Structure 1
Amino acid sequence: MMLKPVYRVPHPLAGNKVQLTVFDRAAIDTYVPIAFAYPAPAPSNEALKEGLLRAIAPYPHLLGRFAVDGHGRRFLHLNNEGVLVIEVDVPADLADVLATGGGMTPVVAGFYPTVPEESVGAALLQVKLSRYRCGGLLLGVISHHHIADGTAASSFYCAWAAAVREGKDFDVPSPFIDRAATAVPRSTPKLVFDHRSIEFKRSSSQAHAVLPMEKIKNITVHFPAEFIAELKSRVGARCSTFQCLLAHVWKKVTAARGLSPDEFTRVRVAINCRGRASPPVPMDFFGNMVLWAFPRLQVRDLLGLSYGAVVGGIHEAVARIDGEYIQSYVDFGGVADANGEELAATATVGTMLCPDIEVDSWLGFTAHQLDFGTGPPSAFLPWLPVEGMMVFVPSRTAKGSVDLFMALAEDHVAAFNEIRYSLD
């Protein structure tokens, strides 16, 4: 069914045709699937749908549709066409399904709505409510990445959970949704950095292979708080949980891939630019505002350097994504628009990033923020469609622990699992 909120007065942006920003176009052009498992007693479908209608009213972009203008460029039409919700009953117990659903198996693929082959005209947010005979629920969601980055999408899911948990009296906060305000080029553009080769087109020497989806395995690694504390002690200086874990996983993935010592490997580190822009953009901005830092090392150096040295390299690369870099990128987008140039993200579904990796962090969110009123989810099930892509998430099983979700080529999984906890 298609759900549409009924506005007492039209939304201020109702009917607008919104151009995608240069941040939107840098995001991978696909739907992002994610699922949350809720054991019985789980919230009812009716409560979830009523809460969804209340929560989504301040988010008109999720209710719109992609369309194409006369120049063949995609834009977002805020036409309130609604959200697709699918309801199914599953003759199985949730615990049994989760026990056999590790990795991107056909079972896990069924947790989400089917990703549309063509996004133009399709619902940009789609929900699947799978109710199991035990009373458990799998809440599967796909949303298009050109509408929101991970920070924005997570904020919406938290608002939805609060709307269900708190009931009809809950006042859903309105996010900052002025997309145009996040990408205002200078009157005289100043392109300080080579964004065409950094964020968009690659040279032939940088091109990555494409791997059949069945050869890409999604795996999960749990890092206990004690392991993280030991990692930080080896760094020998103050560092974040994200940076020390990234240094460790970068080392281990590189070793598992068996790369040549002379080869170079880099990490594409997602950076939330909201607070780094000048002037800053409100942290509740709903849309895309991510750029990437690219720490890069030769394989022999990465494997031979101390944890402290690798963390230092990551920190330096991240620090370079500052207000000047962000404004240069916005200016680049303005020049491309003025020239009628189409910009497309470099990564596509099935891309093999090896010898590189890409990482995002959702460590700022907790499972308790996704409590719909019957408790937080018992499992979090993302799907990563690009080999070498990974995300760090707070573990719901133990305070201070972290779960890593990662996509690896199947030929490298066994070797990685053998050394993933090694600190040698």
Structure 2
Amino acid sequence: MALPVLSRSIVHAEEKSVMTKLKLSIPEMMFLSVPYIKMGYLFESPPFPTSELILKLKTALSRTLTHFPVLAGRLITDDEGFVYVTCNDQGADLIHVDGSSLTTRDLTEYSNDELPKHLNHCFPADLLLGSEGFSKPLLVVQVTELADGVSITVNMREAIADGISYLNFFLSFAELSSGLTEITHFPDFHRDSILMSNVAPKLPSSIVQSGNYLGKISVEQKVFKFRKETIQRLKTQINETEGNNTKISSLQCLFALLWRSITRARNLPPSKKTSFMFTINCRHRVEPKLDPFCFGNAVQIINVTATAKEVAENGLFWCAREFNDMVTSHDFSAVKNHVETWEYNPQPLTEEILDGTKVYVVGFSPHLSMNEYDFGWGKPISILYREGVERDGMVIPIPGRDGGIDLRLILAPETMKNLEGDPEFMMCLA
């Protein structure tokens, strides 16, 4: 049952934007068919009344939109087929929800490694995609008052912002809410890079006409908690493999474990190709380099592909090295090739993850800090994250306690059952 909505407001930028419109890049058009980024933080109740809380957040949001005018705009398509954000200050939504029937424990306690069933209540349910969503806000903030706390979630169209831009906005919003007069990192809106297109890609109807681009399939969702010590032990094991001269990161080691374990759990034929997909930041890979806080979506999805037999027989080190090699080799030439390939043959991103052979990492860095996101009455007590769609093979890394990583896995029921019986995987959870 949906929680009561107490108010819904359109919040405009405090100062009018000098930008008129912002043309979408190739990576941004790739993400037109992808749901909103949905993340937030859970806080203890502030020591002031509700009316003051909502006014405080509205004021801070208005001031933040002055620095991020794109988020107060709307998507448009011109006569030539280029997609833009028109910076017309139509505003962002701020929704105030009564969640007094819930407590913070309802949103943070896991039962049998399953997600808290009330988590969805902290996020808006009516976010549209495709052309239906072009007239809708690109940014929706939901404030949910709980019996003993409050959640603040920021829901942002992924076609206009990747995780770096999203988190910079969220941090700026928190800073101005806490009483600071300036934000730490001002966004850069320059568009001069290889990521832009000089021709209007002929976008398939599945990208621009409808947000109902995915059918329903049966999946299960569970959270597996990896302690910091366990991850370090896995990293040491892989990096000390004989003949290894490459420094492989903790996350690459964890991905190697996942790829092998999920591939086994799927019982794929030995010759069947399987891929592990994840996004990579291109800001420092293009020439000239983009500003680290260049606003927009500047990521590309890269695939590490092998047969099920290769993944099973070559071991953890081999899989981890494949990830490392792919990341290292993704230079300016690879970025350019990726852009040109999609520019002349645009495909909906979502169609790439539907065949039951892939593992796809979504979300943010599992090393995301909570300490900076103080809205003025204390640091968050938990991170809240919701994936817009649930597809077989999705992996969502979330910061765990004491430096660990919680992996939220979305898998077909039979695959999940097999994974929980996989000795190599379960041994790393001990």
| Same fold by TM-score greater than 0.5 | yes
Matched residue type, 2:260 = K
Retained in 2: the 8 A contact 1:234–1:307? no
Q: 1:411 to 1:35 in 2, by over 3 A?
A: farther
Cα deviation for residue 353 of structure 1 reads: 4.7
Range 255-264 or range 272-281, more displaced = 255-264
Q: Which residue of the partner structure matches residue 2 of structure 1? A: 10
Q: Which residue of the partner structure matches residue 276 of structure 1? A: 285
Matched residue type, 1:352 = L
Runs of 5+ unmatched residues, structure 1? 190-194, 202-208
Listed as ranges, the matches of 1:12-411 within 5 Å are 12-13=18-19, 16-27=20-31, 28-41=33-46, 44-71=53-80, 74-98=83-107, 99=109, 107-117=118-128, 118-134=132-148, 136-165=149-178, 167-171=179-183, 173-181=185-193, 183=195, 212=216, 215-235=218-238, 236=240, 237=244, 238-332=247-341, 336=344, 343-347=346-350, 352-360=354-362, 361-363=364-366, 365-373=368-376, 374-383=378-387, 385=389, 386-395=391-400, 397-399=401-403, 401-411=404-414
Cα deviation for residue 25 of structure 1 reads: 1.3
Matched residue type, 2:86 = H
Question: Which among 7, 11, 32 is matched to residue 17 of structure 2?
Answer: 11
Cα deviation for residue 211 of structure 1 reads: 5.2
Retained in 1: the 8 A contact 2:271–2:309? yes
Matched residue type, 1:21 = S
Cα deviation for residue 223 of structure 1 reads: 1.0
- Structure 2 distance, partners of 1:108, 1:315, is 34
- Structure 1 distance, partners of 2:381, 2:194, is 33
Cα deviation for residue 20 of structure 1 reads: 1.6
Cα deviation for residue 41 of structure 1 reads: 4.1
TM-score under structure 1 length normalisation: 0.82
- Structure 2 distance, partners of 1:47, 1:414, is 47
Retained in 1: the 8 A contact 2:230–2:428? no
Cα deviation for residue 73 of structure 1 reads: 5.3
Q: Which string of whole-angstrom CA distances, capped at 9 and with x for unpartnered residues, describes residues 122-174 of structure 1?
A: 0010111110122x112233211111012211221122122223x04334542
Cα deviation for residue 176 of structure 1 reads: 0.9
Matched residue type, 2:147 = R
Aligned residues: 391
- Structure 2 distance, partners of 1:370, 1:387, is 32
Q: 1:131 to 1:18 in 2, by over 3 A?
A: same
- Structure 1 distance, partners of 2:349, 2:304, is 18
Matched residue type, 2:138 = L
Cα deviation for residue 294 of structure 1 reads: 1.5
- Structure 2 distance, partners of 1:309, 1:223, is 21
Percentage of matched positions with identical amino acids: 20
* Secondary structure of the structure 2 residue equivalent to 1:265: strand
Cα deviation for residue 84 of structure 1 reads: 0.4
Matched residue type, 2:21 = K
Q: 1:86 to 1:366 in 2, by over 3 A?
A: same
Range 227-236 or range 93-102, more displaced = 93-102
Retained in 1: the 8 A contact 2:193–2:287? no
Runs of 5+ unmatched residues, structure 2? 1-8, 206-212
* Secondary structure of the structure 2 residue equivalent to 1:179: coil
Retained in 1: the 8 A contact 2:26–2:197? no
Q: 1:76 to 1:408 in 2, by over 3 A?
A: same
Q: 1:263 to 1:348 in 2, by over 3 A?
A: closer
Range 53-62 or range 354-363, more displaced = 354-363
- Structure 2 distance, partners of 1:73, 1:105, is 41
Retained in 1: the 8 A contact 2:175–2:183? no
* Secondary structure of the structure 2 residue equivalent to 1:406: strand
Q: 1:313 to 1:416 in 2, by over 3 A?
A: same
Retained in 2: the 8 A contact 1:390–1:407? yes
Cα deviation for residue 423 of structure 1 reads: 5.3
- Structure 2 distance, partners of 1:26, 1:381, is 22
Q: Which string of whole-angstrom CA distances, capped at 9 and with x for unpartnered residues, describes residues 205-260 of structure 1?
A: xxxx96516x2333322210111111112212531111001101111111222222
- Structure 1 distance, partners of 2:59, 2:152, is 15
TM-score under structure 2 length normalisation: 0.81
